[in-house]
Chains A and B, each alone.
Chain A
Amino acid sequence: MKLIARMLENARPRFEGSGKFAAFHPVYQAADNFFFAARDETAYAPFGRDALDVKRYMSLVIVALFPCFAAGVYFFGLRVLFMMLVAYAAGGAVEVLFSTIRKEEINEGFLVTGFIFPLILPPGLPLWMVAAGMIFGVLVGKEVFGGLGRNLFNPALIGRCFLALSYPGAMTKTWLPPAGGFGGNIFANLSLFTPQNVTSATPLVMAKSGHLSSLHQLFVGRVAGSAGETSAVAILVGGAFLLLVGVANWRTVAGVLISFVGLNVLLRSAAPAHAMPVLFNLLSGGLLFGAFFMATDPVTSPVTQWGKWAYGILIGVATILIRTFSVYVEGVMFAILLGNIAAPLIDQTVIRHRSRGYRSDV
C-alpha cells in the first residue's frame, strides 16, 4: 500500500502542469482515485457527507454481476473472460481517449459497461466483434452525449444493438451448447474466432418450433444463450443483492416483472397459440437479466420515482409484445432501448404533474 502510494506520488509531477505526460493526467487521476479514497474536502454545508460514492456504487454492481459471470464461465468456458478483457481494453481505450480530449476525469461507469457487455453477447462471438461493439457502444451510446450521467441510452445495449443489426448472422448463430458436470466447459471453446461447435438453437428459438426447454434447465442455466443471461438462479442471487444494497431501484424491477407476467397471463389465455407459458417466458432469454441489471441503470432510466414505475411497465409490456407477435424471438434489448427513449418523456410528464402541487404550498 505504501509502495503504491510512493509510486503514485513520484509519478505525480510527470502528469501535472508541464510534465512529460501531462496530457494523460486523467489516466493518472483514475489510478489515484482507484487506489485511494477521495482527496477533496467539503466546501459547503453539510460538512460531513454520506459514505457512499459512485465508486462504491459501481463496484457493488460488479459484485452483483459476479454470479452471472461465474455461471457464464462455467457453462461456456474461459472464453467469456477473454471477451470481458477485450471489452475492457476497447471500452477503456475510448474512455481514456475522450477524457483526455475533454480534460475530464475518467468515470467509474465504464467498469460496469465493460463487465456487462460480454454477458449479453452470444458466447461464441469472435473477439474482434466484441471489441467493435464495445467501441461503438461507448462512443455513440455515451461519449458523444458527454459521458457518464448525460447519456440517453445504455451504452452496452447500444453496442449490442449495433452488432445485432450489422452482423445478424453472427449474433444469431454463435450460441454455444452449455456444459454440465464438474468443471463445466471452462477449458473448451478457446478459439479467438468462432468456435467449432456453435448452434443457433436457444430456448426461445426452439420454442417457436414447438419445443419447450425444461424449466429446471432454464432455472439453472444449462441452455444456450447469452453468456451471462442463461442462469436464472445466478441472476436472482445477484439481483437480490443489488436490491438489498439499494443500488437497483426496486420500482423498475417490479414494474418490468409485474407487467410482463400480467400481460403474459392475459395473452396466454387469449391466444395460447402465440404466447408461451408464463414461467418459460420469464426464465428464458434475457428478461431477468434485463430487468435486474439493464433496466435499473439509473442514468438511462427516468430520474423520478413514479417515472421508474412507468418505465418498468413499458419495458415489460414491450418485451412480451415483441416476443409474442414479432419475428424476433427476443425483445428485451429493443424494449429497454425503447424505454430509454421514452424516459425523458416520462420524466416530463411526472414533473408537470408534480409541479401543479407546488404552487399551493407555503
Chain B
Amino acid sequence: MKFHGGYIPKVAGRPVSGVEKLRLPGVLSISLLRHGTWYAAVVQDGQRVQCGDALAEASTASGTLALPSPVTGIVRITERNGKNPERLVLEVTDPIVRPGNAERFEPQRLTVDAMQRQLAKGGIWPFFWSSRSHGIPTMTAEEPPRAIIVNCILTEPFRARGKVVLRQERDRIIEGIRFLPRLMQDYGRVEIILADARDRVPQAMYRLLAGDAWVRFHAVPLTYPIENPRILANALRRFDRSLSMDDPLWVIDIQGVAALGSWLGEGIPLHRRTVAVGGPGHPSPKHLSVRIGTPVKSLMHEIPAPERVQVLRGGLLNGTPVDPKIDTVQYDDDAFFFLPKAPEREFLAFLRPGFDRTSFSPCFASRITGASDTHISTSLRGEHRPCIACGRCEEVCPARLMPQILHRLLYRGAIDEAQAAGLPGCVECGLCTYVCPSKIDLQKQFTDAKAEILREQSESEARAL
C-alpha cells in the first residue's frame, strides 16, 4: 500500500517496550461520555456490580450501546445531580476478573445479530470505524463491510505501540480475528496492517489463522498518520482495485481486536487498556497495563513537578488536555502524553544552533546529531504570522490536500471553494498545524469550516423536507 506525505516529529520520551502492570487503585471512576455520546446510568448509588455488567447505556444510531463495569464493586454516584450523572465511581471489592457468567462463543456458531448484540453489550462495538458513517458503524441498517482492516500500527508520538500490544496479547488478537469474518460479506477479507510482516508474531498469526479467516498482511512504512482509518481505507482502495468507492470498509485497531477476542472467546469483559505514558515531561516513559477507570494521577507519581506538566489524552498531535485531578483512563485510551508547560522565555532563541530541538525542516543542529526534541512544550514556539507560503503543510499532508490554499480560501470566507479544493478530505491529523512556521491554527480553522459545511447541509436538507 502506498501513502502520501506524513511525518513523525522526533520528540524525547519514547516509551520503552515491555508492559508494566499498574496496581489497581481502590476506587475507579468512569466517565459516561464516550465518542461524543452521553450514556445514561442504569445502576443506582450503592448497587453491587459484577465485572462486565452494564453501568450505563446509550441508544444511538448504532443501536443500544453499553459501558461494561471494569471491576466487581459498589457503585457510588457522588454528583449532586444524581439522575443524570457525568461519571460513576466504583469502589473495588474484588480485584480479580473472572469469566463469570458471560457467554462464550465459537466463531462458527454465532449469528451476526447475536454477535452485534454481544459486542454492543460488552462495549466493544465503538472500537469499529466504518467508511460509511466515518465513525461507529450503524448496527442494522448498514451493509456489511467488504473488508475489515486490523491496524497494528500507532505511529503518533507516543501511543501504545502495536508491536508491544501484539507481543502481549497475541492469543486474544488471534481469537478476535477469528470472529471478524462473521461481520463481513461473504468472502470478506481481514487486512492486517503492520510494520514488518516477517516478524515472528505475524508469522505465527498467519499459521494459526489459516482456515479460519481470509487474511492478508500489509507491511507499511512507519509514518504518522498511517493509523488514521480514512487514510488506511483510502490506501486499501488504491491498492486493491477490486474494491469500489462505495464498498464499505471497517477499521479496528489491535487493542479493540484483543478486547473482542477475550470478550467473545473467553467471556472476559473489557476491563483494561495498554497505555503508553511518554513525552519529555515523563521521567520514565513506558507502557502500562491499566484498569479502566484508574485516575490519570496514578500514572504520574514519578513526575517530580506535576504542576509543570500538561497531560494530553492521546498523542502529541491529536491529544486533548486532561485534568489529572478528575480524569481517569477510559475505554478508548491508549496513550497519555506529558508535555512540559512553557518554560521561561529563551534569550535570542532563534540564533541557537538547536541541539535540543527538532523540526520538519533540517534547520537545527539536531539533524546532524540525531537528537530528539527535549525542548518541546506548550509554548507556541514562535509568533503568529501571516502565511508565508513555504509549502511545508502541503509536503506533510497525508490526504494530498493543499492546506495553504484552503487557509487562504477560508481566510476570505470562500467556504464553497474550499470544499471544492478538497476540504472534506481533511483527516484532521494535525500535521499541517504542527509544522507551520507562521503558527497558524490550520486544523482549528478546517474543523470549524467542516462543521459549518455539515450544518449548512443539514439545514438545506431540512428545508427540502
Contacts and interface: CB of A to CB of B under 8 A. Distances in A.
Interface of A: 1, 4-5, 33-57, 59-60, 105, 107-109, 147-150, 244-247, 249, 298-299, 301, 303-305, 308, 347, 351, 354-355, 357-358, 360-362
Contacts of A247: 361, 363
B373 interface: yes
A305 B439 contact: no
Max chain B C-beta neighbours (<10 A), residue from A33, A42, A360: A42
Contacts of A45: 317-320, 430, 433, 443-444
A129 to B, nearest CB: 29
Contacts of B298: none
B342 interface: yes
Interface in B213-264: 230, 233-234, 237, 245
A42 B359 contact: no
Contacts of B388: 54, 57, 109, 148-149, 298-299
B375 to A, nearest CB: 7
B386 interface: yes
Interface in B422-440: 422, 425, 430, 433-439
A5 B348 CA distance: 11
- Majority-rule SS of A interface residues: loop
B441 interface: yes
A225 to B, nearest CB: 29
A130 B346 CA distance: 36
Given A35-B348, A45-B320, A355-B421, A51 B359 contact: yes
Max chain A C-beta neighbours (<10 A), residue from B319, B386, B408, B433: B386
Given A5-B347, A34-B348, 15 more contacts: A33-B383, A38-B345, A40-B384, A41-B380, A45-B319, A48-B377, A49-B380, A51-B375, A51-B381, A52-B361, A148-B386, A245-B361, A246-B361, A298-B389, A362-B245
A37 to B, nearest CB: 4
B170 to A, nearest CB: 32
Nearest to B231: A362
A44 B437 contact: no
Contacts of B351: 59
Nearest to B357: A51
Q: How large is the interface on B (under 10, 10 to 19, 20 to 34, 35 or more residues)?
A: 35 or more
Contacts of B297: none
Interface stretch (B89-97, B160-168, B390-398): B390-398
B350 A59 contact: yes
Nearest to B347: A1
Contact of B438 (A42, A48, A54, A308): A54
* Smallest CB-CB A-B distances: 10 pairs: A53-B382, A149-B386, A246-B361, A358-B422, A51-B357, A37-B349, A303-B389, A245-B363, A36-B345, A37-B346
Contact of A48 (B11, B233, B387): B11
B128 interface: no
A42 B345 CA distance: 15
A351 B401 CA distance: 10
